[in-house]
Chains A and B, each alone.
Chain A
Amino acid sequence: MASLINCPHCGVRPREEFTIRGDAGPVRPAPDADFGAWDAYVHLRDNVRGPMAEHWQHSGGCRRWLVVERDTFTHEVFAVVDAADYTRVPVAKPARARKAANPAGRRGGA
C-alpha cells in the first residue's frame, strides 16, 4: 500500500516520514544540452500505470534520498534503495528497461 517503506538505513517506517519528489527516471541533461532535452527532463513524464521508480526522501528520518520501486496501480512496493546506489538510464526508455538496468534494486523490498 506504500504505507510502510523499508528504508535501507532506518528499517520499516511509516509513509508520513517521507517526502515524495516524483519519477526517478529522468536524467539531468548536460548544461549545454538543447532546449528540447531540458524541456523533456523538467516537464515531460512517462506517467506509467504499473511498475515505476520514484524519488522519496526520508525527511523525517535519515534524510537520505531513496528510490522506491512500486506499482502505481496496485500500490505494491517492490524495492527501496539509496539513490546513490541506483543507476538511471536516459529518459525516453520505457520503465521496463530502467528496471532491468538496476538488478541491485531488488534488495530492501518492503
Chain B
Amino acid sequence: MRYSAFSIFRAALAGNRGWKPAWRKPEPKPHYDVIIVGGGGHGLATAHYLAKNHGITNVAVLEKGYLGSGNVGRNTTIVRANYLLEGNEPFFAHSLKLWEGLEQELNFNAMMSQRGVINLYHSDGQRDAYARRGNAMRLAGEDAELLNRDQVRELAPFLDFDNARFPIHGGLMQRRGGTARHDGVAWGYARSADSFGVDLIENCEVTGIRREGGRVTGVETTRGFIGCNRLGLAAAGHSSRVAEMAGMRLPIESQVLQAFVSEGLKPFIDQVITFGAALFYLSQSDKGGLVFGGSLDMYNSYAQRGNLATVESVMEAACALAPAVARVKALRAWGGVMDMSMDGSPIIDKTPVQDLYLNCGWCYGGFKATPASGWCFAHLLATGEIHPLAGAFRLDRFARGYQIDETGHGAQANLH
C-alpha cells in the first residue's frame, strides 16, 4: 500500500481499520542468493539497495530479536557529515545526500529534520581545529560555517556563554545536518525491502556459519539451517561474535553507550548542539523531550545498560552547557552496544573467507551512515567489488598502516 495524504483520508473514512502490516512475517526458505545477518538500520538498508540498485531480491535479513531492536532504535538520531579525513568525508557526504531524498524514496515519513548541527568551541585552539575541519568539509563539497560567539548566541541564547572553565567562543555549524526519527528509518527500509520481496525474518539468531572448501554455504540459526550464496554480516555491537563463527578476530571492542530523554518541553533547543568541553550532545525531539548523551562507559560491555558514573557525568555536562536543564526531569535512560573499531572508523569489506562480507565498526556514529552503508554494502554483495566511496574502509588497513583516525587517539577503541 502506498502511503499518501489520500490513503490517510480514505483509511480514516473506513474507521482506520484497513491498515495492513508494513511487512510480511515469512517463514525462512531453504536457500537465498544473499543473507544479511542483523536487522538494524544497516542490514535493512543493504537489503533495500540490493533490490533497488541491483535487482537482487532473493534475499533474507535475519534478526535475532525484532527489527530495530538494536542500536538503530537506541541512538540519539543525529545526522551530519562533518568529518575531517579524506577516507570519511565523501562517504558521509553521500549519506547526507541520500538522507535528503530518503522519505520520497521509501514513501515513509522518517521525520528527517535538517535543523543544523553546531559543534561549540571554547578556546582558540579548538576554533582553529574547527576552522580546519570546516575547510575540509567544504573541500569535499559539504556546507560548513564557522560561527562566532554572537552568532551562536542568536541561535541558542540559553547556553552558558560565560562558563568560567569553558566559555563559548563560537561553533562550527553544518546547516544541512540534523536529526531523523530512528525507528522510522528502520521501518521505512524494512517496508521497502519487503515490498521488493526480501524476507525479513525476526526472532532468528544466527548461531553458526557453515563453510565448505573455504567458502560460505549458509548459516545455522535458531530456526534451522538456511543456505546462501553470499553472506553479509551487519551485526553492529555483536560483530565480533558473529565473525568468530567464521574463525575471524576483528579490530573491534564492544562497549556500551548511554542516551537519555527528558520530559516534554515547549520548543527550547532548535539545533543539535555538541559541547566541545566534554563529549556531550543535545537536541529536542519533535515530541518536546530533550535527547542527549555523552561518552562511552569506557569498559567492554555486551549489556544494553550503563553505569551510574556515566549518568552523573552526562547530567553534569548538560547542566554546565545549558544551566536551565537542571530543572528538567529526565524520563528515560538506556544503553546500546557499540562496535568500537581501533581507529574509530568503519569497515565495509570482503573477508578472507570466500563469499563472506563484513560491515561493522560504526562506533557511535553509524546512524547517519545508514543510507550510504547500505548503498556501499549492497554494491559489494552484488558485484564483489569495493564501492569507491568505501574505498578506505578496508579490513586490512590496520595491518597496512592506513588507519582513518579522526580523533588521532591511536589504537584504543574507547577513546574514539
- Determine chain A's interface SS by DSSP, over half rule: mixed
Bound-complex Cα distance A73 to B249 (A): 19
A85 on interface, CB distance cutoff 8 Å? no
A98 on interface, CB distance cutoff 8 Å? no
Interface string of B210-245 (1 = CB under 8 A from A): 000000000000000000000000000000110000
Bound-complex Cα distance A59 to B16 (A): 60
Contacts of B300 in A (CB 8 A): 22-23, 47-48, 52, 54, 72
Contacts of B241 in A (CB 8 A): 47, 49
Q: Are A44 and B309 in contact, with the CB atoms below 8 A? A: no
Contacts of B250 in A (CB 8 A): 44-45, 47
Q: Are A2 and B299 in contact, with the CB atoms below 8 A? A: yes
Q: Are A45 and B252 in contact, with the CB atoms below 8 A? A: yes
Contacts of A16 in B (CB 8 A): 309, 312-313
Q: Are B399 and A36 in contact, with the CB atoms below 8 A? A: yes
Give the Cβ gap from B404 to chain A, nearest Cβ, in Å: 13
Q: Are B412 and A3 in contact, with the CB atoms below 8 A? A: no
Among A21, A42, A45, A49, the residue within 8 A (CB) of B249 is A45
Bound-complex Cα distance A15 to B249 (A): 29
Given the known interface contacts A22-B414, A49-B241, the answer about A44 and B251 at a Cβ–Cβ threshold of 8 Å is: yes
Q: Are A45 and B240 in contact, with the CB atoms below 8 A? A: yes
Q: Are A20 and B253 in contact, with the CB atoms below 8 A? A: no
Q: Are A21 and B412 in contact, with the CB atoms below 8 A? A: yes
Bound-complex Cα distance A1 to B414 (A): 18
Bound-complex Cα distance A69 to B253 (A): 16
B254 on interface, CB distance cutoff 8 Å? yes
Given the known interface contacts A3-B308, A73-B303, A75-B301, the answer about A43 and B251 at a Cβ–Cβ threshold of 8 Å is: yes
Contacts of B302 in A (CB 8 A): 49, 72-73
Among A19, A20, A47, A73, the residue within 8 A (CB) of B240 is A47
Among A20, A48, A49, the residue within 8 A (CB) of B414 is A20
Give the one of A3, A22, A36, A48 with max B CB within 10 A. A22
| Interface range on chain A (Cβ under 8 Å from partner) | 20 to 34
B330 on interface, CB distance cutoff 8 Å? no
CB under 8 Å from chain A, chain B span 266-311:
298-303, 307-309
Q: Are B399 and A45 in contact, with the CB atoms below 8 A? A: no
Give the one of A3, A45, A52 with max B CB within 10 A. A45
By beta carbon, the residue of chain B nearest A92 is B249
Give the Cβ gap from A110 to chain B, nearest Cβ, in Å: 14
Bound-complex Cα distance A49 to B412 (A): 19
Contacts of A56 in B (CB 8 A): 299
Bound-complex Cα distance A43 to B303 (A): 23
Given the known interface contacts A22-B413, A36-B399, the answer about A47 and B253 at a Cβ–Cβ threshold of 8 Å is: yes
Bound-complex Cα distance A52 to B303 (A): 14
A74 on interface, CB distance cutoff 8 Å? yes
Give the Cβ gap from B384 to chain A, nearest Cβ, in Å: 25
Contacts of A46 in B (CB 8 A): 240, 249
Q: Are B303 and A75 in contact, with the CB atoms below 8 A? A: yes
CB under 8 Å from chain B, chain A span 26-42:
35-36, 39-40, 42
A90 on interface, CB distance cutoff 8 Å? no
Give the Cβ gap from B242 to chain A, nearest Cβ, in Å: 11
A61 on interface, CB distance cutoff 8 Å? no
Q: Are B309 and A20 in contact, with the CB atoms below 8 A? A: no
Among B252, B303, B309, B342, the residue within 8 A (CB) of A74 is B303
Q: Are B342 and A43 in contact, with the CB atoms below 8 A? A: yes
Among B251, B252, B309, B342, the residue within 8 A (CB) of A3 is B309
Bound-complex Cα distance A36 to B400 (A): 10
Contacts of A21 in B (CB 8 A): 412
Contacts of B413 in A (CB 8 A): 22, 45
B411 on interface, CB distance cutoff 8 Å? yes
By beta carbon, the residue of chain A nearest B254 is A47
Q: Are A54 and B299 in contact, with the CB atoms below 8 A? A: yes
Q: List 9 A-B contacts (CB under 8 A).
A: A1-B307, A3-B309, A16-B312, A20-B414, A43-B411, A45-B250, A49-B241, A72-B301, A73-B301
Query: Lowest 4 A-B CB distances belong to which pairs?
Result: A47-B240, A43-B251, A43-B398, A39-B399
Q: Which residues of A contact B (CB under 8 A)?
A: 1-3, 14-16, 19-23, 35-36, 39-40, 42-49, 52, 54, 56, 70, 72-75
Q: Which residues of B contact A (CB under 8 A)?
A: 240-241, 249-254, 298-303, 307-309, 312-313, 342, 398-399, 411-414
